[in-house]
Amino acid sequence: MKSDLEEVIEAYEAEKAELEREIAEYAAEGDYFYAHHHSRALKRVNARLVILNELINPRYSDILQEQRKIRMYKQWVVDRKVDYESYFSNQVRLSEKKIEEWQGAAFNPTYDSQEIDDAIFNLVKGNIHAFKLYFKTDPDVYLNFMAVGHHMEITLPYDLEHEYLYIFEDINRFKSLGFSFENGNLVYRYNLERFKDALEIKIMLARLIYEVFFFNRNYDSAKIVYE
């Protein structure tokens, strides 16, 4: 049985294949406007696929890079017909070895943790008053979760706009996720009267962390601090 993550990846792969087919058709017909339009959509889909696949294997981007190298080395041999075929063949073997090692490596998945679910449910039940979710470092970026009446307020402090100017300069990124700008902070409100599970909130968090702040597992870290 496929996991939710695998099904999402499969859906994006199908969308990617369809976009590539349509781009090829538009280009062949000389309709470059629509080809360009679909290329932008394909770029977004590819970016999301990288994020999702890195949840399964953190070396996914490295694997893609080595696969590009292999294609480049092989094409050089075909195009240039140079006397360095043995050198390029060796480079291909080295890249293939790296890919094999990274694909076979064991990783502890980060997407099945119940910590965020437990924190949200404890907040909804009134077991805790508030908690902070830290998800980016140097400097730290966090979201403050608090139950206020019949709502859950998720606040992102705006005092980091200088350190992360390239992110905060476009407020529409946050508004598209449901945030509003209030009293110097970005605030997301969730009506607890319709709360059933944490899925909707977690989808928003995933998009914020990976699509807006570009979480990098090489140096960023995540933690929950109860208050």
pLDDT in tens, 40-70: 999 988 988 888 888 778 788 899 999 999 9
Residue 187, phi then psi, degrees to nearest 5: -125, 135
Q: Are residues 122 and 103 in the same domain?
A: no
Q: Are residues 100 and 198 in the same domain?
A: no
Q: Which of 76, 108, 140 is the last residue of a domain?
A: 108
Q: Which of 56, 76, 91 is the last residue of a domain?
A: 56
Q: Are residues 36 and 125 in the same domain?
A: no
Q: What is the mean pLDDT of residues 199-222?
A: 83
Question: In total, how many domains does the chain have?
Answer: 3
Output the pLDDT for position 81. 58
Q: Are residues 209 and 119 in the same domain?
A: yes
Domain that holds residue 214: 115-226
Whether residue 164 contacts residue 141, with contact meaning beta carbons closer than 8 Å, is answered with yes
Q: Are residues 50 and 76 in the same domain?
A: no
Output the pLDDT for position 9. 87
Does 74 have pLDDT greater than 90? no
Q: What is the mean pLDDT of residues 174-192?
A: 92
| Sheet arrangement for strand 151-157 | 180-182, 185-191, 151-157, 141-148, 130-136, 223-226
Residue 215 CB: number of other CB atoms within 10 A?
A: 20
Whether residue 124 contacts residue 192, with contact meaning beta carbons closer than 8 Å, is answered with yes
pLDDT, greater one: 11 or 219: 11
Least confident of 62-66, 83-87, 113-117, 179-183: 83-87
